[in-house]
Amino acid sequence: MDAVIEQILKDSIAVKEKAIGGQRALIGDVAVKLAECVAAGHKILLFGNGGSAADCQHIAAEFVNRFRIERPPLGAIALTTDTSALTSIGNDYDFDEIFAKQITALGRSGDFAWGISTSGNSANVLRGVEVAKEIGLFTLGMTGSGGKLADVADLVFRVESDSTARVQETHITIAHIVCELVDRILFPQAFDE
């Protein structure tokens, strides 16, 4: 058991180091764009499936409540939480439309759409990104090796790994780094030492 635990830990660290080390400039660029978005009174719309849906809720909560510092709430909505909207859209239209219809209803030009798909090929995430771009939202994709999401989003975080668990662990680590950077950009005085 100890050997298995040690190997999982080593694999997780290695995937994170590679993904984050190779995308530091991108992480900074995303943080700046998000800070500009919320500072201008716009919001972040997050969407994904399964574990990525849970990550969307987690990330939205970090912005709306707080991350590390006391600060005003920042506008973020996880489009994965309204079961009535999700099930009615899925039933009346198609599961591929569950995020697109919510983005059409809630998104406004200047908002930021953040889609997460470990495969990069989730049809509903792709459709959400496409609709977001059509109505003037800046789009970010988080994926594993890329998939189709890498071709449609404005910016893309890629995590090269054959393990969905390692990809998701790295996604949340990147998101936490982005959250702290946004706080540091918007509220630098809270970090003065």
Question: Strand locations in the chain, DSSP E?
Answer: 44-48, 76-78, 112-117, 138-143, 155-158
Q: What is the mean pLDDT of residues 117-126?
A: 98
CB 124 within 8 A of CB 97: yes
CATH superfamily of 2-187: Glucose-6-phosphate isomerase like protein; domain 1 (3.40.50.10490)
Residue spans of the domains in the chain: they are: 2-187
Per-residue pLDDT tens over the stretch 127-182: 999 999 999 999 999 999 989 999 999 999 999 999 999 999 999 999 999 999 99
CB 141 within 8 A of CB 155: yes
CB 142 within 8 A of CB 169: no
Per-residue pLDDT tens over the stretch 58-117: 999 999 999 999 999 999 999 999 999 999 999 999 999 999 999 999 999 999 999 999
pLDDT at 193: 63
Per-residue pLDDT tens over the stretch 21-33: 999 999 999 999 9
CB 24 within 8 A of CB 174: no
Report how many helices (DSSP H) and strands (DSSP E) the chain contains, helices first: 8, 5
Please, which pLDDT band fits residue 192 given cuts at 50, 70 and 90?
A: confident
How far, in Å, are 76, 117, 186 from residue 114 at the CA level?
10, 10, 20
What are the φ and ψ backbone dihedral angles of 148, each rounded to 5 degrees? -70, -25
